[in-house]
Amino acid sequence: METSSPPPSSRPTPRGARAVFWLWFGLRDPVGRRVYLVTGACLMALKYALDGLLVYATTREIWSPAAYLSPVFQLRSQTVPDAPTWMFIAMAVMTLPFMWIGVSMSVRRAATAGLSPWAGLVFLVPVLNYLGMLVLAALPDRGDAWHPEPTTPYRAPGPQKRLPLQIEGMLRSALLGVVAAVGAGLAMAGLSVYALGLYGLSLFFVTPFVMGAVSAFLLNRPAEQTLGKTVSVACVSVLIAGGALMLFALEGLVCLLMAAPIALTVSVIGAVIGRAIAIQTRTPSQHVAACVLALPGLVGAEAAVVAPPLHEVVSVVEVDAAPEKVWANVVDFGELEPPAEWFFHTGIAYPVRARLEGRGVGAVRYCEFSTGPFVEPITVWDEPRKLAFDVAKQPHAMREWSPFKYVHAPHLDGSLRSKRGEFRLIELPGGRTRLEGHTWYELEMYPNVYWKIWSDAAIHAIHERVLRHVKKRSEGG
């Protein structure tokens, strides 16, 4: 008599597949150096194949393996100028499971080799991660680093060992906290910046606060951890999210460094509160998930009501020359010397030359910057007292530092908008002139009071570069 086989859904999962699953996504099974090396090489090849196919399907560009392994070489030799932003976001999303496997296996490999499991976090450090993985793969196993006890739902041949329970629980909680926080941060960046074009309070304040609170809650929920470890996990989450934005050409280093003081400070506050909630109350984990899910609604509401204010920056210099002579150098100040100021070498745009087409109201002034020209139609021509103009077109405010040639950051094109400007020449006793430069601009980045510090400083530096040049030419220097 023949017996029918059980339906596929009721058959037990093959032991080999379950073994691979727990090896990749678990946090208990030891990781030998041969398994670590072979698994790492195979997953790296798979990741390269997936990313390469995505790039080719989108841009018809081919990434060579050598370029893919070296961000610097990749940037300079393999450019994808026509790639849409969604391609880089998709690439970042595909990276998340590979990142979890790499981190979980690296911390267990470090423990198997007798090191601190925290040494496995070298996997998250760009450039050093390759060296760290080679070192972990070369170190011999240490037999006393594990406690003999079966841990997975299957029994594989040979002795079963696992991490000490205290270390295992802390690592699992820390990694879950980091992954949840990074996922929330990247999702909010995608929604706020790339979907709504908003650099608001929900992105710079609420999101890092929630990231810190979520990572701290998940770390301290199973067992109370020290405040130092809690803060460290929160800060690591913010740094990983920022690093991911840079590595996928979604942000540049300079802007990330400017945002870091806010994000790290707020994430620490969130971590302190999240830790207190975890150890002092019985708040269900669903409440934390609800906080994360509320973020999109918050950023959507902010995008609907936000309106950028208009700011004015004024810079002044006194010139030992009459207004008539100064005027001639204001309307057309010629070629400027290369900038000596260090901050202009960080990528901030700086003026190079200016020329005027026509005379009087309706003429057009072209002020060439390092990133392109400002087009400035003249609105007031009161020679030699006042020259005013609107800004009809402007280039990017800066050229980002990034391992990629092209950075897909929306704030480079429109977050800081110059609206108008003017030069005022005031006659002083003794044939001297007070020369004032005025710029009115909108800044669509929040908290405005914080980002205004950076934008005002940059515009003052631009003013002073021009005013000093006009002063030098007018005084005959």
Q: Say if residues 175 and 39 touch (Cβ distance below 8 Å).
A: no
Distance CA 389, CA 90 (A): 43
pLDDT at 323 (0 to 100): 93
The predicted model gives 284-294 an average pLDDT of: 60
> Is residue 79 very low, low, confident or very high in pLDDT (cuts 50, 70, 90)?
very low
pLDDT at 153 (0 to 100): 40
Distance CA 310, CA 418 (A): 9
> Is residue 44 very low, low, confident or very high in pLDDT (cuts 50, 70, 90)?
confident
For residues 160 and 67, the model is more confident at 67
The predicted model gives 441-462 an average pLDDT of: 84
For residues 110 and 251, the model is more confident at 110
> Is residue 115 very low, low, confident or very high in pLDDT (cuts 50, 70, 90)?
confident
For residues 250 and 244, the model is more confident at 244
- Does residue 74 register a pLDDT over 50? no
pLDDT at 27 (0 to 100): 65
Calculate what percentage of the chain has a pLDDT beyond 90.
17
Reported pTM: 0.56
The predicted model gives 224-247 an average pLDDT of: 85
Distance CA 120, CA 105 (A): 8
pLDDT at 160 (0 to 100): 46
> Could you report the per-residue pLDDT of 146-183, keeping only the tens digit for each?
443 434 443 334 444 555 545 556 667 777 788 888 88
| 111-148: burial string, b at 16+ Cβ within 10 Å, e else | bbbebebbbbbbbbeeeeeeebbeebbebeeeeebbee
> Is residue 294 very low, low, confident or very high in pLDDT (cuts 50, 70, 90)?
low
33, two tokens: 């150096």
Q: Say if residues 69 and 78 touch (Cβ distance below 8 Å).
A: no
For residues 22 and 293, the model is more confident at 22
pLDDT at 319 (0 to 100): 94
Q: Which CATH class is domain 310-474?
A: alpha beta
pLDDT at 282 (0 to 100): 58
pLDDT at 435 (0 to 100): 95
Distance CA 442, CA 449 (A): 12
Among candidates 211, 220, 210, which has minimal Cα distance to 182? 211
- Does residue 82 register a pLDDT over 70? no
pLDDT at 62 (0 to 100): 75
